Structure 1
Amino acid sequence: MSAIDEKLAIQAGFRERLDENELLNCMRCGFCLPSCPTYIASGYDEAQSPRGRIALMKAVRDGMIEWDADVDRSLSLCLGCRACEPVCPAGVSYGHLLEDARDIIQQNKRTSLPEQAVRRTIFQGLFPHQDRMRSAAGLLGFYQKSGLQTIVRKVGFMKLFPGHLASMETILPPVPSKRDMNNRPESLQPIGKKTARVGFFSGCLMDTLFLETNNSTLKLLQLAGCEIVIPKNQSCCGALHGHSGEKQGSIDLAKRNIQAFEDLAVDYIITNAGGCGAYLIDYNHLLSNEPLWAERARQFSDKIKDLSEILVELNFHQRTEFQLTPQIVTYQDSCHLKNVMDTAQAPRLLLSHISGITYREMKDAGSCCGSAGIYNIVEPAMSMKILDTKMKHTKASSADTVVTANPGCLLQMKLGIEREGMSERVRAVHIADLLLEAIQWDN
């Protein structure tokens, strides 16, 4: 494909697939600007704002400009945090426009053979297959437990990598054993009086690298009186695919997950990862143009609920004693949990019921931390700039414990703590782990 053919194909894709009404809904009012991390971090570059990106999409669609490296860069640099959506008076579905634009570009632009191989390995060969995810995690576990990690650090091998990657190696959680990853329950009974029957979306990374957090989540649900069903044939949520221009892959995964849960007769489907939850709740949009799946997707999405929401709804915080040793606790919102799932108060309400702690709200707690899936790997400069701002607010809170509700946010906050030399006195923890700790601390 020539460069001209590439540009024409992308323009045609924009014209055929981008919702013109949605593009026109943007009034260019600028209400989104103060909420956009890349607009602020770039020094108020209009091309790095939601309205600027929408203007670029429309200009390419209408043939006013050609798709080029600058347009590609603008769309690639977006975090996809969707903080612009709640503040938009016109209700523009920016996230859906961005996802479609990235998919059109990825499916039509020329890429090198190595990049194609990497994408196939990640998006087709790894994430859709939980057994392979467990094997990959097992290799990391061998690295951690065999002494190889100690040797690598001692000889200074990690110094050959960029600073943020070297730091990330230090904050990866201990990988559970292969046996623990393989021996996952398919159902669990409530502890005490039954209050609900729920399905649990275990996730791909959550059920490998963050297995202990999943275990904490399951225990909390049991204590809240939930009968839990955990289908073995569920898969990755597809968020990584959808955000990276691999929309067909996310559609395939969505169908697998809908099939896995739809006949279980559950009241809710619970997730403990904001990024996963936001994508699961969007399945009704993802499959809206497929007659055989649209209604099934809507019914699936209607049942999605975050862990914090179900605990509050079941009044778990009112009938459970939470207590921790004295410490200052703050909360860092997951962008997708807050902006897409509209869940911001429930986590704070749960934290406010823990005796012994002092809860202190972080400034701009709802702004992105810079993680955004694999953004901190592919766009390290912007990611670290955003993280630096987040760490200033963390320091100002004087928090001993930073609580999050998403694995990417958790790792990013751990990375920020490590980069700032605060790891001896500040920790980052998932809310499920903290709540269970608060129940069990005196045991």
Structure 2
Amino acid sequence: MTTAKEKQMIQEEFAKRMDENELLNCMRCGFCLPSCPTYIESGFQETHSPRGRIALMKAVVDGIIEPDEDVEKSLNMCLGCRACEPVCPSGVKYGHLLEEARDIINQNKKHSVPVKALRQVVFTGLFPHQSRMRSFINLIGLYQRSGLQKAVRQTGLLRLFPDSMATMEKVLPVIPTLKEMKNRPTQLSAEGKKKKKVAFFSGCLMDTMFMKTNDATIKLLQAVGCEIVIPREQVCCGALHGHSGEKNTAKELAKQNIQAFEALQVDYIITNAGGCSGFLIEYHHLLKDEPEWLERAMTFTSKLKDLSSILIELDFDKRNLKLNSQTVTYQDSCHLRNVMKTYNEPRKLLNSIEGIDFNEMDDADRCCGSAGIYNIVESEMSMQILDYKMEKVKETEAVTIVTSNPGCLLQMKLGIEREGLSEKVRAVHIADLLLEALENSSTS
């Protein structure tokens, strides 16, 4: 329960920190409603729509309502997918408002001891430290390799956990060894003539749990003529912190990343995770109140480019790419599409592969329900959204679902498992599929 004193502090901070011009920019036209998954899945509840949440924020700023549990619930129920922004005729930066509101509530509310401890471990103790991330992910690897995973499944212990978490355990990728995670490259040469020099944002989860996808990304970049630099000093992008009311930590991580990359003489900074990309590209907004960092942040963001974009720029789609005959569909990463504005490039790459019958999914741009840790903290709504997504997948008759973000990848794998389609359908990151096509064409 939020105390009266906490509500007063939150209300004062809303009045002080929320961008009132941005709040007033919302015309309440309702163009955002059909694009909002939580509005639709909640049975068209206005408080679970973008304009409804903006109205709640404005009412708190004006002192019309208290920032009570209902307001917090509405804000927490939001996926943060930002699908409302591209359709907004006024160009409201809803994502910025949401993150500011969540940060104000989190910084002025006393959490229970278990919640406070969990947040401390995750946001402060784990994600900002790549060495700790490797050690943590290695525990999952030991669980997989030691025979414990098999024993746990045989004893039925997983039935004690919520269905979504028990199913998630089945779809986790095979974890590399700790030695493999530690032995990462920092500089690689281009294959053939060098066309570009790029830096690679390797990420925290991507360079541990999804290390093989990072390896595929590196091979693709080399294949199109990129010399690659991977600075060891880089850290977590800060997206999880920024979306969860830990703005100050997100700022510190942003500064570390800017410092890690700014001395490199590179053409681009390449990303392969849509969730990271969407946060990295807005470092200049995150640091807008710090003049000594703003220009440096703008230089950083100006060099960001998604893997699919550079592959198109360097004519990867014009190669003789081949795969065995299969129907493929694509699930957009929300932040890659709505924030990075990258959506045509992945489709162009997929359509360039001989053997692929690309079948566009209805509502491919609607969130899959992963949204960082949303599928854990708001499991019921997440699974509701995923059920709709899997209906649309089945309509395509695809045997391969392609994504551009690790969270989306796990969520689609979860959907495949829940629907009993694991023998027929697979979900893959686009980097892995493109490397598969490249290697297949070179051996055929």
> TM class by shorter-chain length?
over 0.9
Amino acid of the residue matched to residue 422 of structure 1? L
- C-alpha distance in 2 between matches for 1:304 and 1:237: 13
**Corresponding residue SS for 1:256:** helix
User: Who is 1:348 aligned against?
Assistant: 347
Map residues 206-221 of structure 1 onto 2, 5 A cutoff: 206-221=206-221
Amino acid of the residue matched to residue 176 of structure 1? P
Q: Deviations over 1:4-42 (max 9, x none)?
A: 111110001111111000000000000000000000000
Gaps of 5+ in 2: none
Amino acid of the residue matched to residue 417 of structure 1? I
Change (3 A) 1:417 1:293: same
Amino acid of the residue matched to residue 138 of structure 2? G
Map residues 31-430 of structure 1 onto 2, 5 A cutoff: 31-318=31-318, 320-430=319-429
Shift of 1:317: 1.3
Amino acid of the residue matched to residue 408 of structure 1? G
- C-alpha distance in 1 between matches for 2:320 and 2:96: 42
User: Who is 2:8 aligned against?
Assistant: 8
- C-alpha distance in 1 between matches for 2:89 and 2:413: 35
Q: TM-score, normalised by structure 1?
A: 0.99
- C-alpha distance in 2 between matches for 1:390 and 1:2: 35
Amino acid of the residue matched to residue 233 of structure 1? E
Find out whether 1:440 has 2:439 as its counterpart: yes
**Corresponding residue SS for 1:356:** strand
Q: TM-score, normalised by structure 2?
A: 0.99
- C-alpha distance in 2 between matches for 1:154 and 1:441: 37
- C-alpha distance in 2 between matches for 1:315 and 1:438: 15
Shift of 1:440: 1.1
Amino acid of the residue matched to residue 388 of structure 1? D
- C-alpha distance in 2 between matches for 1:267 and 1:20: 38
**Corresponding residue SS for 1:328:** strand
Runs of 4+ with >4 A deviation: none
- C-alpha distance in 2 between matches for 1:166 and 1:4: 39
Shift of 1:2: 7.7
**Corresponding residue SS for 1:292:** helix
- C-alpha distance in 1 between matches for 2:314 and 2:280: 22
- C-alpha distance in 1 between matches for 2:188 and 2:88: 42
- C-alpha distance in 2 between matches for 1:127 and 1:391: 31
Amino acid of the residue matched to residue 392 of structure 2? H
- C-alpha distance in 2 between matches for 1:290 and 1:266: 25
**Corresponding residue SS for 1:202:** coil
Amino acid of the residue matched to residue 294 of structure 1? L
User: Who is 1:17 aligned against?
Assistant: 17
- C-alpha distance in 2 between matches for 1:321 and 1:2: 61
- C-alpha distance in 1 between matches for 2:395 and 2:280: 35
- C-alpha distance in 1 between matches for 2:285 and 2:353: 38
Amino acid of the residue matched to residue 384 of structure 1? M
Amino acid of the residue matched to residue 441 of structure 1? N
**Corresponding residue SS for 1:325:** strand
- C-alpha distance in 1 between matches for 2:59 and 2:101: 13
Amino acid of the residue matched to residue 42 of structure 2? S
- C-alpha distance in 2 between matches for 1:322 and 1:255: 40
Q: Deviations over 1:122-170 (max 9, x none)?
A: 0010000000000001110000000000000000000000111100000
- C-alpha distance in 1 between matches for 2:320 and 2:179: 33
- C-alpha distance in 1 between matches for 2:108 and 2:89: 33
Amino acid of the residue matched to residue 205 of structure 1? L
Identity %: 65
Aligned residue pairs total: 442
- C-alpha distance in 2 between matches for 1:293 and 1:34: 38
CA contact (8 A) 2:2 2:109 kept: no
- C-alpha distance in 2 between matches for 1:3 and 1:203: 38
Q: Give the root-mean-square deviation of aligned CA atoms.
A: 0.9
Shift of 1:441: 2.2
CA contact (8 A) 2:197 2:227 kept: yes
**Corresponding residue SS for 2:324:** strand
